[in-house]
Structure 1
């Protein structure tokens, strides 16, 4: 008797159905986490023509949209129409989670707020992402990533000291709010297993941005220090920074006295250990400009590959400064397989950014590419009992 290989276990979130009312980036980021780990995600969109649709975040076939909206099913519903809301309410009865990132007042105007939908399904996890919170003086303000990077302190600690405030090169507030929202949803689902009750999970770009400041926020809250721009230097660990070699830039970080001693030996500079300017971390901090210049002068004498190999062999953390294409070509990145290949019916063979989480039982998967608007109307709405003639009638009246 031959043994057939066992099929992989179902993804951990496969029992759950998620209704996705989100747009732009923070909300889709949260829902993507759930979709990649197996949840059935029904993305609710306005009934518009795909050929003319240009959402914020790019066209349907653009890189950003494809990366954010994979593993989802699309249903078009006009939520301003009572019939459209009635269809949504039917979906909510069978859903586990609903995620929205409207401005706080919009969901109440549409009649799809937490209290309304909770009355339909008490086990529902209702998750909200906003710019500034569901209440408070800024609640109704529009909030976008760059606005919140400024208000939340991020721009004040990013960039070179002489540059003035600088935004981070990625959507830090949006992405972080999405990840925190996904964590909140998972916590709520675990709590529901114990209590049987749904709940309202909330986060905002502003809260997420402040939380991700982490050590910089703690410096203010605990020690009363206002962090400033340190450029490529670390605010407290010296030497840390960007250095130049014969053939390109590299980064180096030397935390603690033991690592400092290893650096002195690897760079053949034992005299630094006795130099009063560099003896302690405080000394090195006070004299970081001179120290960084001395390190840079030495690194300039050899190619980057030479120093990375030599310093890593000494147990010192360092690495190349790559462009994005170079980062994905790196052998370790290739080994980790974070670029997920997929064949798209219109784009051909492409790759999307995979999940950075590994498990010995499960591997998140790319099961489907980003859907076109209303691609799954017949499938999903048919499960609610709607017949073809009813679907056509709703279509003709711009309800779906």
Structure 2
């Protein structure tokens, strides 16, 4: 495991100048998951991220001490500089405008209309800096009938159809375990910002980029939508761990002596490899299992056949057999196994850091790799307002007396 980069020092010392986004400066007004993840990806590509928070800190900081619920802040806000600014005050907004004139991107995920009411919406900020990329992530978009609906990950999972297709046919709708809508939106937001930065290189002009959480997840429903259309527009039942379109078999989670294992065979080669592993080669000629269509038609028999066999073996025994026969599979692993995954640690996609608030923790790096460049060292998330003076005075040229006056007034 990679311990040597646990406390690499200030972000400016990590060699980010060699990375693709070196020289790009981002003002990050976002909170919770989707905006901070987009800016985290930018930070790990070498951008300078200045996280602007209210005096109380963004919402994830407030969760501190509630069952570890503040840990996501550390996961999503490393390699960023933290400053505090009262954007409800006129002087706070004036200082933001001063900063905007000298940056490339501003990211926010407030409810639609909030920044306009504050006087810091895209029109006002791009007037101050026509090259600015103003990136906005919302639940349902900046227009449309759902514009002002409250949007959290679970509410968007409900509205987008994700909950309706998650779970078993005889049970209630179930939310997806991870915060899919937030992170899908964050990834799309990052892609939109990158596209706009490329366009700016051609035109010299910035633009507004917006991403909706609901729209970001729709394409992921494709297997279930295929079944919906095949049923003549009738909503299909939930499929549990089976394929969302009921178009693959075997495709399920099967019992083992010590847990569960996922198996998928989407062609004859995979299925025949599974039969070889099971020492049931004679079933190749069984008319129920000759091709994908017949196997799907006899899904219950296949699941029973495979499940009865896997239940007699441990996960380790099954993994060894399936690797030898090249059967697509994976053991169902608990979070402790994932956090300590030797593969991810060797690739430095997971790294140990010493965090000033959380101690020794494992944090993810960016999943995006740039050939010839090692992943940037992970710098722990900053304490609230830790870089106030270095950002406002040293980076943006605020007079020290003016800085102190704004601090005394509570603007900073």
Offset at residue 343 of structure 1 (A)? 2.1
Two-structure CA RMSD over aligned residues (Å): 2.2
SS at match of 1:203: strand
- Deviations along 1:182-224, one digit per CA (max 9) or x if unpaired, are 0100011111111111111111111112133243345557985
Offset at residue 100 of structure 1 (A)? 0.7
Query: Structure 2 length as normaliser, TM-score?
Result: 0.89
SS at match of 1:98: strand
Question: Any stretches of 5+ residues in structure 2 without a counterpart?
Answer: 1-14
Q: Distance in 2 between matches of 1:75 and 1:263?
A: 56
2:126 is matched with which residue?
118
The answer to whether residue 257 in structure 2 is matched with residue 233 in structure 1 is no
Q: Distance in 1 between matches of 2:340 and 2:51?
A: 33
Q: Distance in 1 between matches of 2:17 and 2:259?
A: 46
1:58 is matched with which residue?
63
Q: Which moved more, 1:100-109 or 1:226-235?
A: 226-235
1:266 is matched with which residue?
277
Q: Distance in 1 between matches of 2:107 and 2:27?
A: 6
Offset at residue 367 of structure 1 (A)? 4.5
Q: Distance in 2 between matches of 1:304 and 1:390?
A: 64
Question: Any stretches of 5+ residues in structure 1 without a counterpart?
Answer: 1-6
2:138 is matched with which residue?
130
SS at match of 1:104: coil
- Deviations along 1:45-101, one digit per CA (max 9) or x if unpaired, are 1123x7xx8647732983111111111111111111111011000110011000011
Whether the 8 Å CA contact 2:20–2:46 is kept in 1: the answer is: yes
1:394 is matched with which residue?
406
296, 318, 322: which one aligns with 1:285: 296
Superposition map of 1:35-74 within 5 A? 35-48=43-56, 55=60, 58-59=63-64, 62-74=70-82
1:181 is matched with which residue?
189
Offset at residue 389 of structure 1 (A)? 2.5
2:366 is matched with which residue?
355
2:6 is matched with which residue?
none
Offset at residue 377 of structure 1 (A)? 1.2
Residues 311 and 57 of structure 1, relative CA distance in 2, 3 Å threshold = farther
The answer to whether residue 316 in structure 2 is matched with residue 308 in structure 1 is no
92, 106, 110: which one aligns with 1:84: 92
Q: Distance in 1 between matches of 2:275 and 2:190?
A: 45
Q: Distance in 2 between matches of 1:90 and 1:178?
A: 27
Q: Which moved more, 1:152-161 or 1:275-284?
A: 275-284
1:4 is matched with which residue?
none
The answer to whether residue 51 in structure 2 is matched with residue 17 in structure 1 is no
The answer to whether residue 340 in structure 2 is matched with residue 335 in structure 1 is no
1:364 is matched with which residue?
375
Q: Distance in 2 between matches of 1:237 and 1:132?
A: 33
Q: Distance in 1 between matches of 2:133 and 2:187?
A: 16
Whether the 8 Å CA contact 1:57–1:64 is kept in 2: the answer is: no
SS at match of 1:342: strand
The answer to whether residue 329 in structure 2 is matched with residue 318 in structure 1 is yes
Q: Distance in 2 between matches of 1:326 and 1:142?
A: 35
- Deviations along 1:20-59, one digit per CA (max 9) or x if unpaired, are 01111111111111111111011111123x7xx8647732
SS at match of 1:135: coil
Q: Distance in 2 between matches of 1:348 and 1:191?
A: 42
2:256 is matched with which residue?
245
Q: Distance in 2 between matches of 1:336 and 1:156?
A: 36
216, 227, 240: which one aligns with 2:224: 216
SS at match of 2:18: coil
The answer to whether residue 98 in structure 2 is matched with residue 93 in structure 1 is no
Whether the 8 Å CA contact 1:24–1:57 is kept in 2: the answer is: no
Query: Structure 1 length as normaliser, TM-score?
Result: 0.92
Whether the 8 Å CA contact 2:287–2:294 is kept in 1: the answer is: yes
Q: Which moved more, 1:54-63 or 1:158-167?
A: 54-63
Whether the 8 Å CA contact 1:84–1:399 is kept in 2: the answer is: yes
Whether the 8 Å CA contact 1:44–1:77 is kept in 2: the answer is: yes
